[in-house]
Every structure is written in C-alpha cells, then in structure tokens.
Amino acid sequence: MPAPRREAGKYPYNSGRIMRSGRLLDSAIAAADRALRAVLAPAPVGRPVPALPEAPVPLSEAERRASAALMRVNHAGELAAQALYHGQALLARTGATRDMLLKAARSESDHLAWCEARLKELAAQPSRLNPLWYAGSFAIGALAALMGDRASLGFVAETERQVEGHLDDHLDRLPADDTRSRAILRAMRAEEVAHGAAAAAAGGESLPAPLRMLMRHTARVMTATAYWV
C-alpha cells in the first residue's frame, strides 16, 4: 500500500533549523567537556616546563610562600584565559575565528600545566575558587563573542595586552632566586604577546575605553583574591 502523500504546508519541516540545532548541541557538549577537563582534571602537558640550564637556588620559606602566591594567581589567570577562549569559540561566527581561539586555548593549557607543576614544586595548591574563575570568564567570553568576531578578536588583543602587563609585574615581584618561576613566566609572556598580535592582525577592533577599564578592574578582583585563596 503506497504511503500517504504529505500535503504541502501541513507538516512543515525545516531541515536547516534542525541541522543548526544539532551543531549547536554538539558545540555545547564539547564546551562542557572542555570546562570539566579544565577545572577538574590535571592540565595536560603538551610541552616541557620551561627551565634554565643552571640548577635552581633553594628558596627560603618566605620566598617560597611569596612565589607560591604569585604562581597561584598565574594558574588562576591561565584557567580564566582558557575559559574566555572557550566561551568565545562557542559563539564565534566563522570557523576561522573559532579555530584561532581554540588553538590559543590549547597554548593556554600548556601554560596552565606549567603553573600547576610549579605550584607542586612549591608545595602549594591552586586557588580554591577556580570553578568560579572559569564560569565567570566563560560567560564573559561568550558575551564578547555575541558582539561579533571583530569585537571578539579585539577582546583577545586587549586581554593579552593586560596579561602582558600583569606578567611584567610578577616578574618584578618574584624573589630574585626564583629562576624556575621566572623562566615559566617569561615563556608565557612571549606567547601571550603573540596571541594578542595574531588577534589584532586577524581583524580585531579596538575596544571602547570603558570596557577596557571594566576588564582591568575585573582582573584585579580575581588576582587579588587568588593570591590568598
């Protein structure tokens, strides 16, 4: 018996909408997986931890605590950077922008692993508020992506510019004998500068001054808190 004919317009079927919904669901599942791995799993080590050829000088207890606090801030910052990129990638308008953001996030994963390894060497723990830092940064990244790819890339460039200044400050504040942490931060700094330059070259637009100021104040809250908690 032949199947009944479908009357035109009686059973609307939008295959394009279903395909878009499926892609969005896949992206959301991938984003959730990245979030769980970033917050709960040990950071995967893609590249060796940067080190100087000479053996590190033993630190005093006061120096160890000072270095540990600074490296805890850097660990939290790298986790937040990953979250920003993940949030931006989820809602990126083009595949090229998404690929650039996820590539940068993988580099930040190396930075996270380096900071995590250094914290273990210093007998210190990461910030207990890491889930909060990740969730807040992911939301900020997603909001930046809603403004369009050019604004989102501009957000990356400005973020990395501020991170560069933050790392310069930490390089000045590290105990003089902590060459191990200093080597890590210098390697991170070089790559953060490269990320910002790549985002600007890809079409990132300059952000309004009030937004840049808001980003700076938000970062200060996180760094001041992660120093202690």
**Cα(50)–Cα(165) distance, integer angstroms:** 20
pLDDT at 218 over 50: yes
Phi and psi, residue 177, nearest 5°: -85, -5
Top mean pLDDT of 26-35, 108-117, 210-219 is at 108-117
On the question of pLDDT at 216 being above 70, the answer is yes
Averaged pLDDT for residues 194-204 = 93
User: Is 167 a member of any domain?
Assistant: yes
| Residue 56: pLDDT over 90 | no
Q: What is the separation of C-alpha 187 from the centre of its chain, rounded to a whole number of angstroms?
A: 16
CA 85 to chain centre: 5
Q: What is the CATH number of the domain that holds 84?
A: 1.20.1260.10
Confidence label for 64 from pLDDT (cuts 50, 70 and 90): very high
Query: Is residue 29 classed as helix, strand or coil in its secondary structure?
Result: helix
Give mean pLDDT, residues 132-157. 92
For 182, the domain range is 16-47+59-226
Q: What is the mean pLDDT of residues 10-30?
A: 54
**Domain assignment present for 40:** yes
**The total number of structural domains that make up the chain:** 1
Indicate whether 213 belongs to any domain: yes
* Residue at 106 is within a domain: yes
| Amino acid 11: pLDDT | 45
Higher per-residue confidence, 41 vs 197 = 197
In a domain, 150, yes or no: yes
Decide if 188 is inside a domain: yes
Distances, alpha carbon 164 to alpha carbons 125, 169, 171, 195, 196, in Å: 24, 9, 11, 11, 10
- Report d(CA 181, CA 67) in Å as an integer: 8
Alpha-carbon torsion angle 172, 177, 183, 189, nearest 10: -10
pLDDT at residue 3 greater than cutoff 60: no
Q: Higher model confidence: residue 23 or residue 176?
A: 176
Residue 1 is assigned to a structural domain of this protein: no
pLDDT of 37: 59
Global model pTM greater than 0.85: no
On the question of pLDDT at 93 being above 90, the answer is yes
The whole-number pLDDT of residue 104 equals 87
Mean pLDDT of the chain: 85
For residue 201, is pLDDT > 90? yes
Per-residue confidence band for 106, with pLDDT thresholds at 50, 70 and 90: confident
Q: In the structure encoding, which two tokens stand for residue 39, read together? A: 């917050």
pLDDT > 60? residue 7: no
Nearest of 62, 51, 46, 156 to residue 101 by alpha carbon: 156
Cα distance between residue 126 and residue 178, in whole Å: 18
The answer to whether residue 36 is domain-embedded is yes
pLDDT score of 33 more than 70: no
